[in-house]
Every structure is written in structure tokens, then in C-alpha cells.
Chains A and B, each alone.
Chain A
Amino acid sequence: MELALNQPAPLLKRLSWFDWLFAVIVATGGLFALSRFGEFMDIYEKGILLTAIPALAIFGWFWKPFRTLFIVVGAISLFAISQYHGNLARMNEAFFLKYLISSQAAIMWMCALFGLATLTYWAGLLSRSEFTMKTASAMTWSAVAMGFIGMMVRWYESYLIGADVGHIPVSNLYEVFVLFCLITAMLYLYYEARYQTRQMGAFVLLVISAAVGFILWYAFDRDAQGIQPLVPALKSWWMKLHVPANFIGYGSFSISAMLGAAYLLAQRGILANRLPKLEVIDDIMYKSIAIGFAFFTIATILGAMWAADAWGGYWSWDPKETWALIVWLNYAAWLHIRLVKGLRGPMLAWWALAGLFVTSFAFLGVNMFLSGLHSYGTL
């Protein structure tokens, strides 16, 4: 009873020693990077780095498991970097790098772990085994850690190829697919803890597995995993903001689509007693679209501002821009119906599921079938 009465203490008083340690680690890392590499950054990049420090700290305070993830990824990435001795060829020589934590090895581990997690979630869902589900969660967490390590190391490797080649690994279709997997998984893990339900993992991990399938095909069939220097149009600090913001949108929309599918199945009695209550699925579906919509709005605005720097105008009706607008309009309509009309139920679930096709077309279809200025990722 006392708990209910407790008025929320001011944020700073609620922080544990670990929160503070985390903040100190983030700040130390950020400031070290600034002092060591500041001369290679322009004013905007310094701004992004300095803003990232409080943003990451607060994000960690808000979502506690992120602190551990951050520290583990940071530590292992630094260890990997130390193994290179500044020589890219060590990727195939040093044991740890070759089999575990060179960027490509880590990303492949991520792929494997996501695949296993998907199977495990389904096994847990079908056998109603809480333990199996917990294992699946752990696998997903490990996949996320490996993926981030892969991205961090890839970032470093790009500088080993050449000081002028180095860039943040969000510049081509291969890299953003990894980013997509990571962001989608993190968003899901957040909801999983928040709603104390692991059953939806089976569905969400399906869309991640599809992305993993693409990564594998793209790497093994198309040899796309190589780090390529940036085309001049991408050499901008805007990329660090625009791309991740966009993928928070894409990831959220994908989650909502998979939840839409789960909703529709449960509503027809399929897996109904294994899945969470319809209201819960519906609620997460809404939250996911809300987050996605907010970040997609920001991403599109950032994209417009970047276009005003690079393409000569904030809006050119380029196919990618236009499809971003179509995606935005689609979810704007969804939210209007839900919020204003108060509509719930299968219609919105169907719509969220259909939204996946609109979103995928904007993400992939435009690159495959339409030409335009935004053709950084061809298949």
C-alpha cells in the first residue's frame, strides 16, 4: 500500500549508482572521442557527438537494460579493435576476429542468433514453456549485442581501408538491413519487458528473420558485404541522423504489422490461448505505430532538410520522397481513425498488416523498380 502512495521522486534521486556509472562511461567515451578525433569532425558532427552523450545517458536511465547492452557492446568492440593492431588483414588471422568479432563474423553470428531465437520463440509459444521463451529472449539480446558489435567494428574497419573511406555503417542496403534488424529487435525487447509477455516474439522475430534472410542472400549471392567508400552525395553529417530515424520508423511499422497478423489469428481462435489478450496486442500495435509515426515524421523532415543541402530543394517529388509521403499519409490515416473515431479491432489490424507492404515498397521496392536521386541501395 505504501508503494501506491509514494509520490514519484525527482528523476535524479531515482537514479542508482549503476545509472551514474553508466552516464560517466558514456560521457568519458564521448569526450575521449571528441578530444582524439575532434579535428576530423566538422561542427555539426561535434554537435551530434556531444548531444549523443546526454541522449544515450537518459535513454539508459529510461530503459535500464540498455545500460548493460551499451557497456557490453562497447567493451567487446574495443577489444576487437585492439586485436586489429591497425591492420585490416588481421581480420582473417587473429582468432577472435576471424571467428567471432570482426564485423562480418559478428554480423553472421547476429544472423544465426536471430534465426535460433525465432525458432525458440515458436517452440516456446507452442509448448507454452516460459523457460524456452526466456532462452529466446536471451538469444535475441545476444543477437542485438553481436549486431551492434559488428556495426561498431565495421565502422572502425572502414577507417582501416582508408582514412577518407571511413564512415558510419548506415550507407548502403546491406548496412541498413543490419540496422533494421537491430532496431526492430530492440523495440520489441522493450515492449516484451514493458508488457511482461514474450509470446509476441514469435511473430516479431519472423520479420527480423526475413531481413536476416535478405542479408545472407545479399552477402553470399551478391557479395554486398564489402565496405565501399561513400558517394559524394552521402558525405554529410545528415546521414547520421536521417538514416537511424528512418529505421526506427520502419522497424516500428514492421512490428505493428506482425502484431496485426497475431491479432487477426488470435481473433479467429488460432493460437488464441497462447497469445496475449487481444487488448494487449492492440495496445502494443498502436504504441508501435505511434512511435514509428513520430520518428518517421522526424526522419522525413530531416531528409527534406538534407535534400535542401544536397539536391537543391527540400522536396523534389523524387520517388523515395514521394513514397515516404505515402507511408506517412497511410499511418496518419490509421492514427486518425484510431484516435478520433476510436475504432479498434480487426480492421485496424488488417490495415497495419497492409502497411507492411506500403512500407516495404518505400524501403525496397523504390530501389528495385523505380529510379531516382535516392538510389544508394540497388539490388
Chain B
Amino acid sequence: MNPTPPSFGKSVFELLSSMRFAISLLSILAVASIIGTVLKQAEPYNNYVIQFGPFWFEAFEKLGLYDVYHAAWFLVILTFLVVSTSVCIYRNAPNFAREMKSFREHVSEQSLNAFKHRHEATTAQTPETLAASAQRYLEGQGYKVKNLPREEGVLLAAKAGSWNRLGYFLAHSAIVLICIGGLMDGNLIFKVQQLLGYKKIETRDIPQSQVPAISRLSPSNPSFRGSVQIPEGSSADVVFLNVADGYLVQDLPFSVALKQFRIEHYTTGQPKNFESDIEIFDRSGKKIREATIAVNHPLIQDGIAIYQASFADGGTRLSLRGWNLFAPTASSFPIEGTVHQTTTLTSAAGGSTLEFIDFRPFNIEDMGGGDAPTRDTMSVLGGSSVGDKKHLRNVGPSFQYKLRDARGQAREFSNYMLPLELDGRWYMMSGVRDAPNEAFRYMRMPLDADGNIETFMRLRGALLNPDLRPEIAARFARQALPQNALGTEIETKLTHSAEQVLALFDKGGFQTLGQFIEEKVPAAEREKAAGTYLRILELAAFEALKIANRQANLPPPKTDDATGWVVRDTLNSVSDMFVYGAPIYLQLMHYDEVKATGLQLTRSPGKNVVYLGSLLLTLGVFFMLFVRERRVWLLIKPGHALLAMSSAKHTIDFEKEFTQHAQALDSLAQ
């Protein structure tokens, strides 16, 4: 007898509801999920291009790897999971419901005899008496019992733990519910609109008000999750949704105004609380409510949850003093700036623009050495609370800016407002980097005994002034030589050498000096020559400082260790200036801080569906795993009783319970 091959529909149904298929889906889903944790999701596309190169960038983009969890193929897997689970429920539910109700009272004696767990006892009691006491016993054990008269005696059909089957039903419907809830909160609607050409992602960096309607979502959009930054004293009635390599503007049914953003600190300096005092206005401008939100304490307005997500600078006004580092003078010029704004520099490096990026009122730095923390310090959500925090110290305000030259090339700088103590001496620090993913390299400028940067600037100006060079060299030679050598050829030679050393140093710091030595001096004498040049440079620099002080109508510098260090450090700094990469240094004098809060606004209609699903899942898992379904039959005939027991899962507990029932029967039957 050849069975007819099953129809295609039947085969698909069989496949979808098969255990193998379900297990495969679970495994595929797990593996697919790993991709998104290994590859950082939703980064700016440029980062991916740098990371993978143009070919793989495009290949990975086609596969949707930059937003795996919203990629079409990932949704297809999820859909299969939902379908497979639903089919499984559809297939099993009626059976299971019957099973839950049924006592399987139609078993025959023959089939009971075939049970693996079977126990027989002889009895002198009438079937009815034994049945009654056995029924009491089983009910005491938590069984539901049905007493059925049979031709010669009585059949007790009993069951317990039917909720196990209910658990199956609950847990599997829960998976379907959770996936549906998740889909409700996904961006499926937008995806369809995008596919049909109704909506388009905005990729230009333009003011929000200029974003065209095709990239805006209406306030009635059922589900979104976006963020916005609001400076103190300002308000926002939109949020931005990051999508692929661009964004969308989501119009809100209300506007949010920020009165104040606060950071509270523990006495140790770590942040304790981030709070925003906000006001909500309706579209007509009427105030609806006022509230304070904090991390873990969102506000719900019109079904939209408002979260404290981050903070930033909201346009702090900066008063700065600038120095033209390569000018042969000590003079400075004032600059005013505002964070997030751009200023054109006229006094130095014509055509350059200053872009103020950020201001940080405090900087917790690891002063014990090692790398500076690289994590996003502006997010309020994460944050490690372990680790070596012994050397952490607040080093005061800093500001960040970019200096863009006429050709559009930019370097990023980060300057501290207050001096830092390093190796027992105080310095002003200015960091520079060429790309955002690099660490800052710091130039340190020494402070004088009065704690000012002026001495450094004066000496720097004098050293870089070619007009002063002959005088410096001459004074140096006179100081360095013994009385009897003055006026001789030795003095002329030494003056000439000093002039040469200064000129070389002016061209590129220690590096040019080093190159010169390497080219002109035989290898054996290089070390000695370097020592001599360094000594000449230091002494000449001290003379330069004397001249600079005189020109500035200041008393001559003291001849002490402190001055010695300032001179040495100045030489180092000037040498560093050649690789610093900017013609100017900016010192922060005053600031007027304006903070901005970063809010996240979420509307998620699927949340309650997911929560309901979660509740069902929990109940279902417990019923399935901890309620054991088992059945007992007791067929009693005059003089003889047959106990049989069955369960879907033959565990050790089941064996124990069977032994217990068998013993009970023996004693009841006596």
C-alpha cells in the first residue's frame, strides 16, 4: 500500500509546525542577533566606509548589516517565528484542550496491562469500598478523579497537572503577542511609505524648519522613538529620528521648553543625578504642565514618554584671549565666541575660521597617568561604577574648537581653562588632534612664579624675533666667557654659534637642531655637540628673557631654579609649537554657561501588548516546567486491583510518585 504523497499545502503546514523547523528558527534568530552586537549599529555611514572600504561597505549596506534588527530579512525570520508558533498552536490547541478535559476513561484492561508503570494488588474488599478509599487517597494527592462503573467492578480515572497544557498554550501565544507588540513599535509603516516613495530620509545638515514635508512625520504617527536637544530657555516641538545615514523630523503634538538642566554630584565628584525642569505647551502655546524629569523618572504626556537621555552645551558664551604663536611679540588679542557658532579670525592666519564645538564646566581626569576615558561622557544612561578611581580629579572647565584654514582643513583643539600641575610645576594645557577618533596630544605651556602665562609668551616672542638674535647672542657670549676671553676671536665665534643655534631653533625647534647636528657633526661627537647646543640654547634663552623683560619695563628675571624651569619648559613648548598645528593659542578668561538637555521621546503603542505577552510567557513557562501532567487509572475487580500510571515526561519524580501510589494501593487493598 503506497500512501499518496501529501499535497504541497499540507507539506508546508507540516514543515512550519515541525519541531525541527522551530528549533532551526530559534538558532537562526540567535545567530542573526549576534551580528548586530558585533558590528556597531547605526553609526554614521562614514565610519563604516573607513572601517570596511568602499566595496564591503556597499555589500554590507545591501545586507542591511548597519541596522540588522530592522532589516527586511531579519523581519522575515521573525515573521516565520510568529507563523511557525501560530501554526503550532493551531495544530495542538484543540488536542490539548481535549486532553485537559479528558479523563481517558475509555481505556481497556488490555491497554492498561501494556503500561510500563503498572502495579497489581489482591484485595478482599469489594470494588466499591476500595474505589472509595482509593479515590479519597488520590484526591488527597491533588488528582481529579472520575469513578466509572465497569462490568465487573469499578474504574477510577484520575488526572493531575492539566495546567501544564495550559502553560504550553500561554507561552506560545505569548511569543506571538510579543512579536506583534514589537512590530507595532517598529518602523514598518515608514518602511512601506519609503518604499512607495511617500517619505524620504533627509541627509542634509539644514535647520529643522527647512526640512521638507517628505521627510517629516505627522504628530499622529502611532509609534516613534526620537531625540532632541533643548538649550536652557528654548523649546522644541519636534524630535529627530535617526534612520540609516540620515534622519527624519517627527512633529510633536506639543512643545517642550527647558527651564533648567541640573547635574548633582556626589562628594566624590561622580554625577549623582541628571534633571531637567521642563514645561509642556500645547500647539496654541497654552501651558499644559510643568515637571521635572530625571533618569529613571520619565514623564508621560499624550501617550508620549519623555526621557532624560543626555546633556550637552547649549551655547555657552566664551571670552577668550588669543596669541599669535609665531609672531615675535608677546601681545594678545581678545575674542568673543559662542559654543556651536563660528567666528572668522582676522588678526592671525587670514581667512581661518574658529568653530566653537563644546564647553565642559568640569572634567574628571585620571591624573594617575594612563589613557583618558574614551566613553561618551555626555550620555547619562550608562557609566561604569567600578575601576580604579583613585587618581580621578576635577581639573576644571575646558572648551573645544576647530580651527579651519582657508583651504577647509581643520584641526580640533581642547584647551583647559585652569592650569594643571604636572611633575610639581604648573602648566596651561592645550590639546590637539587631526581626527575625532584620535586622542588629544597636549602642548603644555609653563606658568611663571606669579601663576601667569605672560613670561612664557614674552620669552617665546623674544626667541622668535630675528631682530633680537644678534643682541641675545652677544649677551650670551659675554656672560658665558671668562673675562680674558672677551674681545677675542673666541667671543666672535661663540656669538656666531649662538646666533646659528637660535636661528635653527626658530626654524623648527629641537628637531631642526637635531637634523643639523646629524648632517654636520661626525657621529662620534654628536652627543657632545647636542649637549653643548642645548646649553647654549638655555643660556641664550635666559638672556632673551632678560631683554624681553627690559623691553616690557619689568624687573630682570630672578636667577633661580623656578626661572630655570620656565626657560627650559618654554624651549620645549616652543619646539612643540611647530607640531602643534595652529598659529594661535586661545586662553579662556570668562564664560557664561548655557546648558542643553538631551531628551528622548517615545510613543510605543505595542508596549502593553508586549507586557501582556510577557505576563503570559511567565505564567506559561512556570506551568510548563513546574506542573507535571500525570494520569492514574485504577481498575478494581473483585479480589484484584490494577494500577497504571502515565506521564508525558518520565522523570525521577514520576518514578518516585508511582512507587508511592503502588505502596498506597497495597496498604489500601489489605
Contact = CB atoms under 8 A, between A and B. Distances in A.
A223 B388 contact: yes
A279 B654 CA distance: 13
Interface in A196-224: 222-224
B604 A313 contact: yes
A340 B164 CA distance: 13
A339 interface: yes
A336 B136 CA distance: 36
Contacts of B182: 315
Interface string B1-45: 000000000000000000100110011011001101110110000
Contacts of A304: 610, 614
Interface string B590-634: 000000000010101001001100100110011011100000000
B47 to A, nearest CB: 14
Given A312-B298, A333-B27, A341-B19, A232 B36 contact: no
Interface in B258-275: 266-268, 270-274
Contacts of B614: 301, 304-305
Nearest to A162: B267
Interface string A345-379: 00000000000000000000010001111111110
Interface string B535-566: 00000000000000000000000000000000
A342 B136 CA distance: 33
Contact of B298 (A279, A309, A335): A309
Contacts of B388: 222-223
Interface size range on A against B? 35 or more
A278 to B, nearest CB: 11
B599 to A, nearest CB: 9
Contacts of A232: 271-274, 294-296, 380, 383
B278 to A, nearest CB: 15
B387 A313 contact: no
B37 A233 contact: no
Contacts of A374: 382
Interface stretch (B52-60, B110-118, B333-341, B662-670): B662-670
A283 B651 CA distance: 7
A173 B384 CA distance: 10
Nearest to B379: A373
Interface stretch (A1-9, A69-77, A97-105): A1-9
Contact of B625 (A294, A301, A366): A294
Contact of B664 (A5, A234, A297): A5
Contacts of B267: 162
Interface in B60-95: 68-69
B280 interface: no
Contacts of B666: 1
Contacts, number: 189
A15 interface: no
Contact of A222 (B36, B383, B387): B387
A286 B266 contact: no
Given A7-B136, A290-B626, A339 B384 contact: no
Given A165-B266, A231-B382, A376-B383, A294 B621 contact: yes
A323 interface: yes
B101 interface: no
Contacts of A313: 185, 225, 602, 604
Interface string A162-183: 1011000001111000000000
Nearest to B389: A228
B137 interface: yes
Interface string B88-131: 00000000000000000000000000000000000000000000
Interface stretch (A121-129, A255-263, A324-332): A324-332
B487 interface: no
A230 interface: yes
B484 interface: no
B649 interface: yes
A314 interface: yes
A248 to B, nearest CB: 13
B309 A329 contact: no
A317 interface: yes
B385 A7 contact: no
A308 interface: yes
A235 interface: yes
Given A233-B380, A314-B611, 12 more contacts: A4-B667, A162-B267, A171-B385, A222-B388, A230-B385, A279-B652, A290-B625, A326-B33, A373-B382, A374-B382, A375-B383, A375-B384
Q: Top 10 nearest A-B pairs by Cβ distance? A: A7-B140, A231-B383, A312-B600, A319-B37, A290-B625, A232-B295, A4-B663, A228-B385, A312-B307, A301-B614
21 contacts: A5-B137, A5-B667, A7-B136, A8-B140, A164-B266, A232-B380, A233-B296, A283-B652, A293-B625, A305-B611, A309-B296, A312-B225, A312-B309, A312-B600, A325-B33, A335-B625, A336-B23, A341-B19, A373-B381, A373-B382, A378-B384
